A and B are shown apart, each in its own frame.
Chain A
Amino acid sequence: MRTASRGRDTSKWAAILLFLPPALLLFSIFVVLPAGEAGWYSAFNWNGFGRPTRWIGFDNYRFVFDNRAFGTAIANNLLVIVVSLVVQLPLALTLALILAERFRGAVALRMLFFLPYILAEIATGMIFSFVYDGNYGLLAAIYGWFGAEAPHLLASPATAMPAILVVIVWKYFGFHMMLFIAALQGMDRGVVEAARIDGATGWQLQRHVVIPLLHPTIRLSVFFAVVGSLQLFDLVMPLTRGGPADSSHTIVSFLYTFGVMRMRVGFGSAVGVILFVICATFAFTYKRWFMRDE
């Protein structure tokens, strides 16, 4: 018995010592360390060469908050969240309720709606910079049918962000729809059937039986919508690069434009820390308040 257990112990520790370090090392070096260093670097005025020496305390944070484009970026991120909740989520939910049933073409439509989600953001942004192009674009052609002059949506500060919001809905609603369809298919049909036998029909059934059963999935979908919007960057670059006049920046495109491109390591790190705090605070409070049961 003793030798067997000792052999087992050796085997156990051999596995632990061989299997854990690669993942732990990679994660520590490329995720945890940089996240911590962002906090350290954000206290310096540093262009990335040599070592950081010019300590300026919290000044970088003041510079960030004093930058008007950062205010716009925060507002735009909030706008994306609002549109995700008010437009995208109801759209995804409605389509899921329809497409979760079996009929000819349902599966093909699901796949069509999911397809934009797996396309690269860069490709999606480019496709829509064509759609919006004032000379050659699809929108220009539609205006042309009515003999109207096509607007250059992406070239005007008033319309650039709304145009991006449409692309966001186009690209991401299919993902949320699939979340709902997966939940609907895993749902206990007995409850729904029982309600149907009790006389609930159509919209009543959806409103009072199916949708309440979907609440955990809705909370999850909201979670993904918020986290996704906080990371928004790739899509903005081919469309507007944050312009015109910094009107369509997101937090990450702001970080890239004002931090990375100008190699202002301290400033960019401060933006990163702010984003980190927003993400972590949101994830913690949301999970605590809304997803306790999961």
Chain B
Amino acid sequence: MSRIRLDGNLAFRTLFLLAAAIFVATPLLATVLGGFKTLGELRTNPFGLPHDWQWQNYTDILLSARYWTLLGNSLAIALLTVALTLITASMAAFVFAHLRFFGSDMLFAYITTGLLFPAATAILPLFIKVRDLGLLDSYFGIVLPQVAFGLAMSILLLRRFFRDLPPELLEAAVVDGCSYIGFFGHITLPLSRPILATVGTIVFVHSWNAYLVPLVMLNNDRLYPWPLGIMVYQGEYSSEWHLILAFITLTILPTVLLFVFAQKHIVAGLTAGAVKG
């Protein structure tokens, strides 16, 4: 504290922080509160607390099958993506971390080219591919491309962590006659819970928020994840902003809750994790 008091520009700092906090928080608060207002009040009082809290805006959505279907779809897609990514990426990362063979460096370089370009660059051929595989309008038509595009980053992060585990562990286990596969299952994975949680959280957030791939792969709106569903909802209730705001609030709520509870993993994963690109 004393150092701050010594700084002459404390007032400037405080004002700057305050301005930034207002800039960030106002749209979010107005969205949550707007969901509690009537359309008429939203027009006259978009910033303040509601005079008359319209809980019904929220309860109507929470009691609708539509909301839960969207969330269920998003959850199913995200959990499948996380599970498949963690399984395939950790196995591959284990090989790249511990086993050398002819071409292993080349294969690793091959995988890391995945960091170079986003899914959007190949979205049309990807659509054709998923169609030819008969996976349009299915969870896996979204899950498999998402896993594939997340592999490079996931393998990179996992490999680095696996390599940093004490090498004596592996030597001792091998001397004791433990196979590599056994070592992976009994030693590597249990010791790697923090990085698995971090990678899992990043992959989950990406999948939960994803828009382009589901948009292209789905026609059947019964399978829509929430970002697609909310766009449809907005189209239907075009200017009934109070309902749209309530709906937005309820769809970002899971993200915010996840953020509060998995803060450590999210921040570590999205910043430090992104560092080694």
Residues of A participating in the B interface, judged by any CB pair closer than 8 Å: 7-8, 11-16, 18-20, 22-24, 26-27, 29-35, 37-38, 41, 48, 91, 94-95, 98-99, 101, 103, 109, 111-123, 126-128, 130-131, 133, 135-138, 140-141, 170, 174-175, 178-179, 182, 202, 220, 223-224, 230-231, 233-234, 237-238, 252, 255-256, 259-260, 265, 268-269, 272-273, 275-276, 279-280, 283
Contact of A18 among B91, B110, B124, B234 (CB under 8 A): B91
Most buried by B among A136, A137, A234, A237: A136
1/0 per position for B138-153, CB-CB distance to A under 8 A? 0000001101110110
Tell me whether A98 and B123 are in contact (CB under 8 A). Answer: no
Determine chain B's interface SS by DSSP, over half rule: helix
**Chain A residue at smallest Cβ distance from B245:** A130
Determine chain A's interface SS by DSSP, over half rule: helix
Tell me whether B244 and A130 are in contact (CB under 8 A). Answer: yes
Tell me whether A98 and B16 are in contact (CB under 8 A). Answer: yes
Contact of B267 among A33, A178, A272 (CB under 8 A): A178
**Chain A residue at smallest Cβ distance from B274:** A224
Q: Please, how many residues of chain B have a CB less than 8 angstroms from a CB on the other chain?
A: 96
Which residues of B sit under 8 angstroms from A24, Cβ to Cβ?
92, 107, 110-111
Residues of B participating in the A interface, judged by any CB pair closer than 8 Å: 1, 3-4, 7-9, 13, 16-17, 20-21, 23-28, 30-31, 34, 39, 42-43, 46-47, 87-89, 91-92, 94-95, 99, 101, 107, 110-111, 113-118, 120-129, 144-145, 147-149, 151-152, 155, 174, 177, 179-181, 184, 205, 208-209, 211-212, 216, 227, 230-231, 234, 239, 241, 244-245, 248, 251-252, 255-256, 259, 263, 266-267, 270-272, 274-275, 277
Tell me whether A237 and B4 are in contact (CB under 8 A). Answer: no
Tell me whether B92 and A115 are in contact (CB under 8 A). Answer: no
How far does the Cβ of B63 sit from chain A's closest Cβ, in whole Å? 21
Contact of A175 among B118, B121, B271 (CB under 8 A): B271
